[in-house]
Amino acid sequence: MRGSLDAIGAGAASSEPSCRSNERSVNIMVTCFLRYEIDTKKIAEFEHYGRLWIRLVNKMGGQHHGYLLPSEGASDVALASFTFPSLMAYEQYRQAAATDPECQAAYAYANDTNCIRRYERTFFRPMFE
């Protein structure tokens, strides 16, 4: 999903998978991979935003795997990923985040600082031998 932080803050998930669409997928672990285009003059602000979300995702039942920030060169790309035990658990997190005061404050911080230009969200499921 490509979008603005307003869409994230509103809990919009229209192009995201739905646990109602495939009963079998409800119990399969899901990892959300995020690719951000950030303002390179606001990396400190983005780092603050990332620290907020690491704690919030973990608090709300997920496992955040951290952020990867630009290190050298002129890169404006940052990456993040987190996992929930099931798609249903992820959707419950999204619903809760839409009204949670700490989550709303994190969304507002990113909007106020304009540290994120855009993002893409992709979902993965594990495949084992």
Q: What are the angstrom distances between the C-alpha of 39 and each of 9, 53, 60, 74, 76? A: 20, 18, 28, 11, 7
Contacts of 4 (CB under 8 A, 6+ apart): 118
Digitized pLDDT (tens) for each residue of the chain, 129 residues in all: 344 454 344 343 434 444 444 555 567 899 999 999 999 999 999 999 999 999 999 999 999 999 999 988 779 999 999 999 999 999 999 999 999 999 999 999 999 999 999 999 999 988 888
Residue spans of the domains in the chain: they are 2-13+26-124
Give CATH for domain 2-13+26-124: 3.30.70.100
Q: Please give the model's pTM, rounded to 2 decimal places.
A: 0.79
Q: What is the torsion angle, in degrees rounded to the nearest 10, for the CA atoms of residue 115, residue 96, residue 91 and residue 36? A: 0
